[in-house]
């Protein structure tokens, strides 16, 4: 997909201007008081938050081998709701919507090997989902079932794609449990990890392969021999289309699903619908996504590149009308010394862990900007941007565009943006020209986006 950033269509007839954005910040939202993080997320103009809720973390006697005696559909039989309630209620107080993922690990007593991961008891999970639905009710705007079920360290066994069948049963029970609790909000399948690998036991099944298997379809999207599966009830597919250092320029092997190849997901959904496995026209939800950055030089990219890749990814998402949501994971980088393994976690945040220093991506999150080159002229390009539609941007307004070559910044002009926050403008450009956006919010606060350039290849550093 070389040239993706340069040659994506400048005008997308199928673009989705109603796409919403969630931020996931588990360390800040679920450990202690979430107020400051929620204020930050609101101020950035995000639409909502995503929270992962652990079955094991709430269940009674999670390390016991035998199932304890309790009313499993009664929220009062579980403990530990408080930290989730604080985040959910705090988000709603600020006008932020909530996406809740119900998942593992399971309590030991609910798994065949007593490990919290292997063949969780789907009936028990359905009862837990009923309790969760009764506890939160209409406070949740979107639900999804199990985080990255195609990843062996979250659901087993992965041999012969067995976890896909396990996941189907978990999903169906949870779907029924939530609906029986009165939940009417959309419930999503998936939360699929992006790239398969063959690591034994804890590896990853390729996401589209996993999707076919859980829908009882073979590689040609026909009913798999020996299966009798009814149409799966769902209102969308949730995906985590992370990439490597190549970012949006990566074209992974068949059945993998990264940000640069979102059409693979819509094509898979359409073929599955034609086979009668799911409803037609299901939307995509990008529910977890981020770009790894320095200081992790093993898998991360320079901070300026992270900023541009994040904006390009959002633009790709925008140009696909089937994509309902975009995601930022994380708010702040993970601790880069966690467990003594330097850079063993995620450095995909908008703030560095050390000193909580803002990255360029913090400013590009509020004011995304992409330089889309003209296919027929190197001297022409289209700028695509967004004033993230928080409370202050929803009425529409204008931004100032600046450019720089070798010298200082010069004013290009002003540009109106709609109530959705999106805008575009044809410009003259040259190799290496930088652009940036300035915006004065209605309350008088001034914001400046980072310098942005046309990118057509992954960094070599």
**Residue spans per domain, the chain:** 4-366, 370-448
Q: Which residue has the tokens 């959002």?
A: 314
Question: How many other CB atoms sit within 10 Å of the CB of residue 141?
Answer: 18
Give the tens place of pLDDT for each residue, 95-111: 999 999 999 999 999 99
Q: Is the model more confident about 8 or about 243? A: 243
Predicted local confidence at residue 457, as pLDDT = 67
Average pLDDT (70-87) is: 98
Secondary structure string (H, E, C) spanning 197-242: ECCCCCCECCHHHHHHHHCCECCCCCECCCCCCCCCCCCCEEECCC
CA distance 235 to 279: 8
Rounded to whole angstroms, how far apart are CA atoms 107 and 65?
Answer: 9
Average pLDDT over every residue of 317-346: 83
CA distance 450 to 302: 13
Confidence (pTM): 0.95
pLDDT grade, residue 216 (50/70/90)? very high
For residue 143, name the pLDDT band (cuts at 50, 70, 90).
very high
What is the sign, positive or negative, of the torsion defined by CA atoms of 447, 450, 455, 459?
A: negative
Note the pLDDT of residue 340: 41
- pLDDT of 396-425, one tens digit each? 899 999 999 988 999 999 999 988 999 999
Contact 288, 348 (CB under 8 A): no
CATH domain 4-366 topology: TIM Barrel (3.20.20)
Per-residue H/E/C for 59-121: CCCCCCCCCCCCCCCCHHHCCCCHHHHHHHHHHHHCCCEEEEEEECCCCHHHCCCCCCCECCC
Q: Read off the pLDDT of residues 354-401 as tens digits, 9 standing for 90 and up.
A: 889 999 999 999 999 999 988 888 899 999 999 997 776 677 899 999
Does position 339 have pLDDT exceeding 70, yes or no?
no
pLDDT above 90 for 173: yes
Q: What angle do CA 154, 142, 100 make, to 5 degrees?
A: 40
Average pLDDT (195-214) is 95
Q: Starting at the edge strand that comes first in sequence, how are the strands of the sheet with 446-448 ordered?
A: 410-417, 397-404, 434-440, 446-448
Crossing angle of helices 122-136 and 162-180, rounded to 10°: 40
State in words which class domain 370-448 has.
Answer: mainly beta
**Which residue in this structure is represented by tokens 């575009």?**
424
Summary mean pLDDT of the chain: 93
């Amino acid at each position: 997909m070389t040239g993706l950033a340069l040659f994506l269509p400048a005008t997308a007839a199928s673009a989705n201007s109603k796409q919403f954005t969630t931020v996931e910040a588990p360390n800040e939202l679920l450990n202690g008081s979430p107020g400051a993080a929620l204020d930050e997320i609101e101020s950035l103009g995000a639409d909502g938050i995503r929270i992962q809720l652990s079955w094991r973390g709430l269940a009674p006697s999670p390390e016991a081998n035998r199932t304890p005696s309790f009313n499993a559909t009664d929220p009062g039989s579980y403990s530990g709701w408080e930290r989730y309630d604080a985040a959910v209620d705090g988000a709603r107080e600020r006008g932020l919507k909530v996406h809740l993922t119900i998942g593992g690990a399971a309590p030991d007593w609910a798994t065949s090997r007593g490990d919290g991961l292997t063949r969780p008891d789907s009936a028990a999970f359905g009862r837990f989902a009923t309790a969760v639905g009764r506890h939160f009710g209409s406070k949740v705007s979107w639900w999804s079932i199990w985080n990255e079920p195609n990843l062996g360290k979250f659901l087993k066994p992965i041999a012969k794609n067995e976890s896909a069948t396990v996941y189907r049963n978990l999903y169906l029970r949870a779907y029924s449990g939530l609906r029986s609790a009165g939940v009417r909000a959309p419930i999503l399948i998936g939360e699929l990890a992006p790239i398969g690998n063959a690591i034994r036991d804890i590896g990853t099944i390729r996401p589209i392969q996993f999707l076919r298997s859980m829908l009882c379809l073979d590689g040609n999207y026909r009913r798999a021999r020996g299966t009798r599966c009814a149409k799966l009830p769902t209102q969308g597919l949730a995906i985590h289309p992370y990439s490597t250092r190549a970012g949006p320029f990566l074209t992974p092997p068949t059945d993998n699903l990264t940000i640069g190849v979102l059409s693979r997901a819509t094509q898979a959904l359409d073929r599955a619908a034609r086979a009668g496995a799911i409803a037609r026209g299901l939307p995509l939800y990008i529910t977890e996504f981020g770009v790894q950055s320095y200081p992790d030089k093993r898998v991360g990219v320079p901070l300026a590149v992270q900023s541009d890749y994040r904006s390009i990814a959002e633009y790709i998402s925008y140009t696909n009308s089937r994509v309902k949501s975009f995601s930022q994971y994380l708010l702040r980088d993970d601790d880069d010394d966690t467990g003594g393994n330097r850079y063993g976690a995620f450095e995909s945040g908008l703030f560095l862990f050390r000193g909580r220093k803002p990255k360029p991506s913090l400013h590009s999150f509020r004011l995304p900007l992409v330089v889309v080159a003209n296919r027929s002229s190197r001297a022409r390009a289209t700028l695509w941007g967004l004033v993230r539609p928080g409370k202050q941007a929803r009425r529409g307004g204008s931004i100032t565009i600046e450019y720089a070559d070798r010298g200082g910044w010069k004013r290009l002009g002003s540009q109106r943006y709609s109530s959705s926050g999106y805008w575009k403008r044809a410009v003259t450009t040259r190799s290496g020209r930088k652009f940036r956006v300035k915006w004065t919010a209605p309350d008088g606060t001034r914001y400046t986006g980072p310098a942005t350039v046309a990118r057509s290849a992954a960094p070599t550093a």
